[in-house]
Structure 1
Amino acid sequence: MLKFPKHFTIISRHKLILPPLFLHTTTTTTTTNFSSDQTINSFVEKCHSMRQLKTLHAQIILCGLTHDTISLSKLISFCALSTSGDLPYAYNLFDKIPQPNRHMYNTLIRASSNNKSSNKAIFLYKEMVCSGIYPNEFTFPFILKACAFRKAYLEGVSVHLHVVKLGFSESHTIVQNGLINFYVGCGKIEFAQKIFDYIEVRTLVSWNSMIGGCAKEGGWKDAFFLFRGMREEGLDPDGHTFVNLLSVCSKTSDMDLGRFVHWYIEINGVNVDVYVQNALLDMYAKCGNLLTAGLVFKRMVNKNVVSWTSMVGAYAKHGFVELAKGIFNEMPVKNVVSWNSMISCYLQNGFCKESLQIFYKMCDSGMVPDETTITSVLSACSQLGDLVTGKKLHHYIRDNSVIKPTVTLYNSLVDMYAKCGSTEIALDVFLDMPEKNIVSWNVIINALAIHGSGYRAIELFQEMEACGIQPDAVTFSGLLSACCHCGLIEIGGYLFNKMSRVYKIPYDIEHYACMIDILGRGGLLNEALELVGKMEMKPDVVIWGTLLGACKIHRNVEIARLVLKQLLELESYNGGLYVLMGNIFCEAKQWDDMKKVRKLMKDYGVRKSDAVSSIEIGGCIYDFMVDDKKHEASDLIYDILNQLTDHLKSESIDFSYLDHF
C-alpha cells in the first residue's frame, strides 16, 4: 500500500492539502484545488530542489493529472535546465509521455547539448523529426551545437538541409550563427565562411564565431582581417574577441601581433576580465617573453587557478624549475592541472625523483590523479627503473572504476614495464589491450629489441602488417635495433631495404646508425664504411662512434684511424669516444698512438663522464658512482664488498680484474 508523506493529506481525486513548502507559509496549511493547470505550474515554479519536485510529481500521478502536457513540460524543464535539476530524471519522465510535444523535445535537446550528452541530443532530434514534429528556431542552435561537439558532420549537414527546407536560413541570425559554429567545430572553415558571407545582419556572435574558427585553424591573417572588418562595421569587440585573437598569436608564436592586441586593449581602455588576462599571459609565455608574462601576472587583481597554472607551465617549459616551484607553492588553490604542471616540470627537466615526490604530495592532499598524472608518473618510473611504484600505479588503474584507460595510458604502462626490465609483463599488457595504435606496436617492438628478443619483435611486426597497420620510421628503428642486438645481418638488410622500397619511408640518421652497427658487429666493416659514404646527410658523431665501436670489437686499427680523423674534423670532444680510441690502440700495442690520444684529450680538456649506477632497495632508488662515499652506510657497504672480493679470490679463480675497482 502506498504511503503518503505526513505533511500531505488527500481530500479527493483532484484536491489535496499542500504543505507550507509550496505555499510560502510557515504556520498554516491551505486546501488547494490541484485540478487547475495554472495551479500546478505555479507549484512547479516554486520548487527549489529535486526532492520538492519529486514529491509534487508523485501527487500529480496519484491525482491522475498526468494528461496535462503543459504541466509535464514544466516538470521536464525544471529537471533538465535548473541548476538543482536532474537530467536522467527528466529523461525518465519524458519516456513515460505517450505523445511528447516540441517544447519537451527542445528542452531535452538543449539540456543534452549543454551537459555534453551530445549523442542523446542527436538521438532526440532524429526521434522528433521521425515523429512528425517540425523543429524550429529554438531547436536548431542546440542540435547544431551537439553535432559540433561530437564532430557529427553528416548529421549536422542533415540539420542544415532541414534549416533550408523549413525557411530558417535567411532571417534567423541565431540559427545562422549555430551553422557557423557547427562548421567551425567540424573544421570546415570554408563552409562557415559561406554562411557568414550570406548573413545580412551580422551580430557580435557572428564575428566572434568566425574569428574563433580562424584562430582554431591557426589562420592569423584571416582572423585579423575579420577583426578589421568587424571594427569597420562599427561593432566593438568583447572579451571573446580578444581571447580568440590572442589564442591565434599563441599558436603561431607571433608576439608582434600579440603586442598589437595588448596595445589595442590598453589604448582603448578596454575593461578586460580574468579570461582575457589569462590569454595575454599565455600568449607572452608561449612566445618566450617570460618577463612580460610575469608582469601581466603580477598586475592581475583576481587571479584564478588557470592564471597560476599558466605561470607554472611557462617557467617549466623554459627550464626555470625553481621559479615554477615558487609560484606553485604560493598557489592558494590547486587543481589537478596545477599538480600535473609541476610533475611535468620536474620530469621535463630530468628531476624524476622530484616528480614522484610531488605526486606523493598530490595524493596526500586528497587530489585524485587523472590519466595525465598517471602517464607522467609512469614516465618517471620508466626513467628511474622504479618498478615498485609502476606496479602500484598499474594496480590503481586496474582497481579504479573511475579511470577508463585510454590507449595512451596502456602505451605508458607497456613502456614502463619494458624499461624496468619486465618484458614479459609488458608483452602481457600489450596483448590484453582492447585497442592498439601505431605507438603501441612501436613501444613493444622497441622493448623486445632492447632486451634481445629480436625474433619475437620481428614476429610482432609481421602481425602488425597482417592487421593492416602502416609502420613508420620509429617502427623500423626498433626492428633494426632488434636485428643489431641479435646479430641478424641478413634480416636487418632486408628490413632496411623494405623500409625505403616498399613503405617509401625516408631514412633518418638513426636508421643509418642501426644498419652500420649491424654490419660493424658482423665484421663487415668495409660495407659499413661504404654505407656511410652513401648517406644523404653528413655523418655525425653517433655514426662515427658506432663505427668506432665495431673497430674495437674486430680490432681494425686502420678504419679506426679514419674515424679518429673524422672526429677531429667534427671537433667532437666526447670523452667516451677518445677513451674507446685509446683502448683500440692499447689492445693493438700501438703505444705511441695511445699517447697521442691521451695528449689530445688533455689539450682539448676532454674528460670521461662519470658513470652513475642505480639500485632499488625497499622501493627506494639509490644512485652511486665508483668510490662513492656519500651514502650513510657506505662503510658497511664497502666492508661487505671487500669480504665478497676476498671470498672470490679464495676460490682459486682468476678475478684479477677486480683489482681495478
Structure 2
Amino acid sequence: MAVTSSSFAFEHNLSCLQKGSKEVEQLKQIHARMLKSGLLQDPYAITKFLSFCLSSTSSSYYALHVFQGFDRPDTFLWNLMIRGFSCSDQPQRSLLLYYRMLCSSAPHNAYTFPFLLKACSNLSALEETKQIHAHVTKFGYGDDVYAVNSLINSYAVTGNFNLAHLLFDRIKEPDVVSWNSLIKGYAKSGNMDIALTLFRRMPEKKNAISWTTMISGYVQAGMNKEALQLFHEMQNSDVEPDNVSLANALSACAQLGALQQGKWIHSYVNQRRIIIDSVLACVLIDMYAKCGEMEEALAVFKNVNRKPVQVWTALISGYAYHGHGREAISKFLDMQRMGIKPNAITFTAVLTACSYTGLVEEGKSVFYTMEREYNLKPTIEHCGCMVDLLGRAGLLDEAKRFIQKMPLKPNAVIWGALLKACQIHKNIELGEEIGEVLITMDPYHGGRYVHMANIHAMGKKWDKAAETRRLMKEQGVAKVPGCSTISLEGTTHEFLAGDRSHAEIEEIRNKWRTVRRKLEENGYVPELEDTLLHLVDDEEREAIVHQHSEKLAITYGLMKTKPGTTIRIMKNLRVCKDCHRVTKLISKIYKRDIVMRDRTRFHHFRDGKCSCGDYW
C-alpha cells in the first residue's frame, strides 16, 4: 500500500486529535479535508481514519456513516468495520454488517469469521455462532485454524462445551490458541477445576494468555489465593506477565489484603518500566486503598499522567472505604474542575463516603446534583446510599419517607439498610415493621433474620427472638460465620469464630488470656449486646464473644510480629461493638497501629482511638 506525503500529514492530524466532547466535530473537519484533497481514495488514509473512529464509542457511529458512503467497499474495509464493532460495546453491529456484506455479495476471506465469532462470544450468542459455523463450512474455511479456534472459543464461552470439545478433538495438533480457547470457556463459566486440568495437560509451552486466562478465572470465581499462587508459578516459568495478568494479580491482593505481595507487583511494574495505563492505575489505587495504605494510593494517583474518570473514581472509592468523607468530596470537586465528567460509579463512591462519615447535607447535595447537572438518573444503588446515609445519621423517618417517594421499586438491599439503621439506633417499632417485610421479600438471607432477632431482643421480646431464629432454621438459612485473615510473610492465616483448626491455636489461646487480663486491668467489660445468642446465659455468651475471629487474628499478629509493627486484619462481616472496643484498647496497651477492614470499610486504631470516630 503506497503512502503519500498527504497521507503522512493526515495521520499527523489524527494523532493530534484528542478524545473528548469535541471529538466528532474535529473528525468532521478532517473528513471534509479528505473529501477536498481526494484522500478518500487513498486506502491507507481511509483505513487510518476509520480505525481511529472505531477506537471510540462516541465516534464509532461516524465511522459507520462514512463507510455507508462507499459504493462498493472491498473485503478489507468490511472486515475492518466488523472487527471494530466486535471490540466495541455494541458487538451486535458486527453481525448486522455481515448480513449487509452477504446482501452486497462482497467476497469473504480468512479474516472475516474470527471477527464475527468474537462478536458472538461477547454477546454469548449461541444460535448466531451455529449459523456462522455453517457459513465457515459452506465457504470452505472448515480447516482454517483461525476460524476453528474462534469457533471453539465462541462455543466454550457460550457454555456449549460438547461442540467446543468436538471441534477441539478434530484438530490433529491443537495449538496454544486452541487450548486457550477451551480453557477460557471453562474459566468464564466458573469451572476452575476443569480449566486447571486442561491447563496442566497442555503439551506445549503455555503463553502469557494461557496463564492470564487462569489467573483471571480464579479472581472472577473469588479464588484469590489460587490466583496469586498461579501468578507466582507463572513467574517461575519465565513467562512475562502482561498488563491483564498484573491487573488480576493486584485485584487478588486487594481482596486478600495482601499488601506485601501487592507492593512486590508494583515494584516489578516499575523495574520493568511497564507503562501504567488507566486499568493498572485503577487496580493499584484500589489495592493500596483496600490494604489500608491511602498515602500510597494517592502517590499512584499523582503519578498517572492521564487521569480518566475511572482513575478519579478509584481514588474517591478508596477515601470512602477509609471514612475520609471530606477528602472524597474534595477530589470529586477537583475532578469536575479538571473537566472530567463523573459517572454513575463516581456518584456511588461519593455518596458512600458521605454515608460513612455522617455528611448528610453534603450527601443530599451530591445526590440531587446527579440528574440536575449531569443528566444521570439515580439507580437503585444510589438510592441505597441515600437510605444508608439518612439511617446511619439517625434520620429514620426521613429515610422511610425517601423510600416511599423513590421513583424505583425498593429492593431488599434498600429495606435492609433501613433495618440495620433501626438496630443501630434502637428503633424497635420501626425495625419490627421493616423486618417482617424484609423476611417475606428475602427469605433466604441469613442477615435479615439476625437483625430481626436482635431487634426483638433489644425490646426484651425473647419469645419473638426465639421464633425468628426458629424460622431461620426451618428455612434452612445459615448465618455466615465470622472469618478474619492476617497476612504474614506472604502467607494468609484464616480464623473462624470459635475455630480450633489453626496449627498454633493453643498458643494463640494462651496469648489471648494474657491480653484479656491486661484489658480487664484497663477497665474492660465485655459488650454482650451485639451477640446473636440471646437465648444462652451471660457466662456462655461472654465465652463466645472472646472467641470472635478478629480477636484470634489480632492475638496471632501480636505473637508473630515485632513490637511497633502495624497489624492488618480483614473480616468478612461488620465488626461488632465488643471487638471494636477491644481493638481500641489493644492499640493503646500494646502501642500498636491496627488496621481492620470489615465488610464495608476500614478502621484505623491508634492509641485507643479509631478513625471511624465510633460511627460505623
**Within 1, Cα distance between the matches of 2:272 and 2:401?**
56
Instruction: Summarize deviations over 1:533-589 as a string: whole Å, max 9, x none.
Output: 011222222111111111112211111121022113314232222122212221222
CA–CA distance in structure 2, aligned partners of residues 582 and 304 of structure 1: 59
Match of 2:207 in 1: 335
Alignment partner of 2:352 out of 463, 481, 492: 481
Is the aligned partner of 1:387 residue 2:259?
yes
Distance in structure 2 (CA, Å) of the matches to 1:146 and 1:466:
26
Deviation at 1:373, TM superposition (A): 1.7
Q: Structure 1 residue 314: deviation in Å?
A: 0.9
Task: Tell me the secondary structure at the aligned position of residue 621 of structure 1.
Answer: strand
Aligned residues between the structures: 511
Corresponding position: 1:349 with 2:221: yes
Q: Pick which of 411-420 and 150-159 moved more.
A: 150-159
SS at match of 1:230: coil
Aligned partner of 1:417 in structure 2 is: 288
- Following superposition, the deviation at residue 438 of structure 1 comes to 0.8
Q: Tell me the residue number matched to 1:283.
A: 154
- Matched with 1:453 is 324
Quote how far apart the aligned CAs of 1:210 are. Answer: 6.6
Measure how far apart 1:269 and its partner are.
Answer: 5.6
In the alignment, which of 534, 537, 543 is matched to residue 405 of structure 2? 534
Structure 2 residue 443 is matched with structure 1 residue 559: no
Show CA shifts across 1:147-195 (max 9, x none). 99x999677875665557xxx95xxxxx6x6566445424423433433
Q: Kindly provide the CA deviation profile for residues 407-460 of structure 1, in whole angstroms up to 9, marking residues without a partner as x.
A: 221221111110001112212222332221111111111211221111111111
| Contact preservation (8 Å) 1:473, 1:505 | yes
Q: C-alpha distance in 1, partners of 2:377/2:507? A: 55
**What is the CA-CA distance between 1:239 and the residue it aligns to?**
2.0
Q: Secondary structure at the match of 2:177?
A: helix
Report the residue type matching 2:374 in the other structure: Y
* Per-residue CA distance 1:319-360 (angstroms, 9 max, x = gap): 110111112112212111111111101111011011001110
TM-score by length of 2: 0.75
Which whole-Å deviations, capped at 9, do the CAs of 1:242-298 have from their partners, x for residues lacking one? Answer: 334434443444333332332344456655221111121122233332221121112
Could you tell me how far apart the structure 1 residues matched to 2:290 and 2:473 are? 36
Whether the 8 Å contact between 2:278 and 2:307 is mirrored in structure 1 is yes
Residues 1:373 and 2:245 are matched in the alignment = yes
Structure 2 matches for 1:25-424, cutoff 5 A? 125-126=8-9, 162-163=37-38, 169=41, 181-182=47-48, 184-185=50-51, 186-187=53-54, 188-197=63-72, 218-230=93-105, 237-266=108-137, 270=141, 272-331=143-202, 332-401=204-273, 403-424=274-295
What do residues 93-122 of structure 1 show as CA deviations (whole Å, max 9, x unaligned)?
A: xxxxxxxxxxxxx98x5xxxxxxxxxxx97
Q: What displacement does 1:612 show?
A: 1.0
CA 1:355/1:510 → structure 2, altered by over 3 Å: closer, same or farther? same
Q: Deviations along 1:621-657, whole A, 9 cap, x unmatched?
A: 1111022222222222222223333454466653486
Do the aligned residues in 1 keep the contact of 2:157 with 2:189 (CA within 8 Å)? no
1:659 aligns to 2:543 (yes or no): yes
Equivalent pair of 1:611/1:625 in contact (CA under 8 Å)? yes
Q: Distance in 2 between matches of 1:157 and 1:504?
A: 32
Q: Quick check: 1:437 aligned with 2:321?
A: no
**Structure 1 residues not aligned, in runs of 5+:** 1-105, 110-120, 130-141, 170-174
Farther off after superposition, 482-491 or 280-289 = 280-289
Task: Give the equivalent residue in structure 2 for 1:626.
Answer: 497
Query: Is the contact made by 2:278 and 2:310 (CA closer than 8 Å) also made in structure 1?
Result: no
Q: CA 1:438 to 1:269, structure 2 compared with 1: closer, same or farther past 3 Å? A: closer
Correspondence for 1:547: 418
CA distance in 1, matches of 2:418, 2:512: 37
Select the residue among 437, 447, 450 that pairs with 1:579. 450
In structure 2, what is the Cα distance between the partners aligned to 1:406 and 1:122? 32
RMSD: 3.3
8 A contact 2:286–2:314 mirrored in 1: yes
1:239 match: secondary structure: coil
Report SS of the residue matched to 1:312: helix
Structure 2 stretches lacking a partner, 5+ long: 55-62, 529-541, 547-616
In the alignment, the residues of structure 1 paired with residue 282 and residue 475 of structure 2 have an alpha-carbon distance, to the nearest angstrom, of 43
- Tell me what 1:640 maps to: 511
- Write the distance in 1 (CA, Å) between the matches of 2:517 and 2:443: 42
Determine the C-alpha separation between the residues in 1 that align with 2:79 and 2:279.
Answer: 34
TM-aligned CA distance change 1:299 to 1:196, over 3 Å: farther
SS in structure 1 opposite 2:70?
helix
Deviations 1:198-237 (A, max 9, x none): x7xx6x6576567667767624233133225427xxx6x4
Aligned to 1:590: 461
Q: What is the CA–CA distance in structure 2 between the aligned matches of 1:575 and 1:607, rounded to whole Å?
A: 6
Aligned equivalents of 1:182, 1:512: Cα separation in 2: 44
Specify the alignment match of 1:603 in structure 2.
474
* Distance change >3 Å, CA 520–CA 250, structure 1 → 2: closer
Give the drift of 1:486.
1.4
Amino acid aligned to 1:390: G
CA, structure 1 residues 506+385, in 2 after alignment: closer, same or farther (shift >3 Å)?
Answer: same
> Counterpart of 2:377?
506
- The answer on whether the counterparts of 1:214 and 1:223 sit within 8 Å (CA) in structure 2 is no
Aligned partners of 1:355 and 1:377 also within 8 Å: yes
* Equivalent in the alignment of 2:342: 471
Q: Are the equivalent residues in 2 in contact too, given 1:180–1:210 (CA < 8 A)?
A: no
Q: RCO greater where, 1 or 2, for CA within 8 Å and sep 6 or more?
A: 2
Quick one: structure 1 residues 252 and 495, their matched pair in 2 at CA, closer, same or farther if it must change by over 3 Å? closer
Q: Are residues 484 and 225 of structure 1, via their aligned partners in 2, closer, same or farther at CA, if it must alter by over 3 Å?
A: closer
CA separation of 1:599 and 1:469: change in aligned 2, threshold 3 A: same
- Cα distance, 1:354–1:209 mapped onto 2, change above 3 Å: closer
* Contact 1:211–1:227 under 8 Å retained in 2: no
CA distance in 2, matches of 1:290, 1:227: 29
